Amino acid sequence: MHVLVVPDRVPRAAADAVVTGWRDAAPHDDATVLVVPDGGPGWADAVTGTGTVTGTVTVTGPGVHVELPAADPAEPSGGAADAAVVLDGLSRARAGDDGRARSTEGRARSLTVALGTPGTPDAGAGLLTGLADALLPGGGSARPSAGSPTGAPTWLPALARALADVDLVAVAPAPTPLLGLRGTAAGLAADGVLDPGAAQALEQRLSVQAHAWVAALGDAARPDLLVGPGARTASRFTRAPGAGSHGGAGFALALVGARLLPGPAHGAHLVGLAGAAAAADLVVVVREGLEHVDLDGTVLAQALAAAGAQGVPLVVLAPRVPPLAGGLRGTGVAAAYAPLGGGTPPDGGVAGAGTWAALAARVARTWSPASWAGAYAGGRQHPRTREHP
């Protein structure tokens, strides 16, 4: 039978170890790995298969893809590096270096920006300023008048027009908004990067900035019907899933016309997860954990949808697995497995390869038909298996 192994928030090495363990226990089965990029590190590599690393540009496959480099949230100059990466990608997209022909209007296919690394929490101000410095005659350093109470960049509409010739896409691994209880500042507090007081101050700064920058778009911003005539709201941008990714770079790119897409769903589409699941007899998702699982915006959710549409069973391998009644019931997961004996759980890296392989071998002996074929007289097979030697 054909087994499709899909890693979710674990390195490729973990999935490769699962394939090794499965083949050891069931050598007659065909086990393969499909990496579904989610907008995090490794996006370009998974989409194009070219071995691209963070911060470099890929020029083959479906459009040009870049990954914003990781930055210390306390570092104020991270936006400059982000702008350099995006500008490099723009130049290649405009030159047609995306492996695709341009449209009749001369429009490049696309530039996709992956937002899955930590970034300076400035709502993308450094990124947009760097783009404006390079793309606009006056540059982004031409600040509004000193007496302006909002600090709204008067060049923002011009920057949006300067980018209109490229289909700009931003992908985020999680549906993090810019503001609110699940926003950028709240996430930094939850991760221990900021104390509660500092997080609250950052939230206030980001809110003031977001409303000022949206107001600078003029008619491009949505009117706030609750506040009254002439008022504008930033909620369309600040509440958008993924707007808070990479310190708010998702918000900034959306302001200048980027389509903000969920990384797992877009990645699943680009690598053909639906077709791969349809061709499989069993889908195995290798995940970092299942405690308090939120399926929204995960590779696991995409795999469940793809497998469920074809009636293909899906199982999960993870370091720790809660009882099915503790959150997996009704999700479509056929079974979930963790290492036996309460030993050191898999860590997803080379050191955990042996544990992942042993776990996969145990699961293979449960699901592979050759392991229990003797119980079926006349060579009768499991309903979901194909003929095999």
Average of per-residue pLDDT across 128-138? 90
In this structure, are residues 263 and 116 in contact, taking their beta carbons and an 8 Å threshold? yes
What is the 8-class DSSP label of residue 291?
T
Give me the mean pLDDT over the 286-308 stretch: 84
CA angle in degrees (0–180, nearest 5) for 363-364-369:
130
How far is Cα 83 from Cα 131, in angstroms, rounded to an integer? 6
* For residues 323-345, average pLDDT: 69
Average pLDDT over residues 187-204: 92
Type of residue numbered 91: S
Sorting pLDDT into bands at 50, 70 and 90, what band is 305? Answer: very high
Given this model, what pLDDT does residue 351 score?
44
Residue 194 has pLDDT above 70, yes or no: yes
Is the model more confident about 261 or about 147?
261
> What pLDDT sits at residue 328?
66
Q: Is pLDDT of 255 > 60?
A: yes
Using pLDDT thresholds of 50, 70 and 90, give the confidence band for residue 291: low
Domains of the chain, with CATH numbers? 2-34+272-379 (3.40.50.10350), 43-265 (3.90.1510)
What's the confidence (pLDDT) of residue 212?
87
Q: What is the DSSP string of 31-46?
A: EEE-----SSTTHHHH
| CB-count exposure of residue 63 (10 Å: 0-12, 13-18, 19+) | buried
Q: Write down the pLDDT at residue 370.
A: 65
- Residues 332, 314 contacting (CB under 8 angstroms): yes
What is the arithmetic mean of pLDDT over 100-105?
40
* Sequence letter at residue 379: G
pLDDT tier for residue 382 given thresholds of 50, 70 and 90: very low
Question: What percentage of the chain exceeds 70 in pLDDT?
Answer: 73
d(CA 374, CA 389) in angstroms, rounded, equals 15
Instruction: Phi first, then psi: give them for residue 329, nearest 5 degrees.
Output: -60, 130
Amino acid residing at 219: D
Q: What are phi and psi of 266, to 5 degrees?
A: -70, -40
pLDDT band for 105, please (50, 70, 90 cuts).
very low
Mean pLDDT of 52-77: 65
Under the banding of pLDDT at 50, 70 and 90, the label for residue 345 is: low
DSSP, res 344: P
Over residues 159-179, the mean pLDDT reads 92
- Residue type for 210, please? A
pLDDT at 253: 96
Confidence of residue 344 (pLDDT cuts 50, 70, 90): low
Q: How far apart are CA 339 and CA 355, in angstroms?
A: 7
Residue 322 clears pLDDT 90, i.e. is over it = no
Give the model's confidence band at 53: pLDDT under 50 very low, under 70 low, under 90 confident, else very high: very low
Residue 281 has pLDDT above 60, yes or no: yes
pLDDT tops 60 at residue 89? yes
Residue-level pLDDT at 63: 79
Q: Please name the residue ranges forming H helices in the chain.
A: 12-25, 43-48, 78-94, 125-135, 156-162, 184-190, 196-216, 235-238, 249-255, 263-271, 273-278, 299-310, 353-367
- 214 phi/psi in degrees, rounded to 5: -65, -40
Average pLDDT, the chain: 79
Provide the b/e sequence for 20-50 (b: ≥16 CB within 10 Å).
bbbbebbeebbbebbbbbbbbbbbbbbbbee
Q: Mean pLDDT, to the nearest integer, of 118-123?
A: 92
- The residue with greater pLDDT, 239 or 146, is 239
Each residue's pLDDT tens digit, 134-155: 999 866 554 443 333 346 688 9
Q: Tokens 């997996």, residue?
A: 328
* Residue 55 pLDDT greater than 60, yes or no: no
> pLDDT band at 312, cuts 50/70/90?
very high
Residue 41, pLDDT score:
86
C-beta of residue 359 within 8 angstroms of C-beta of residue 337: yes
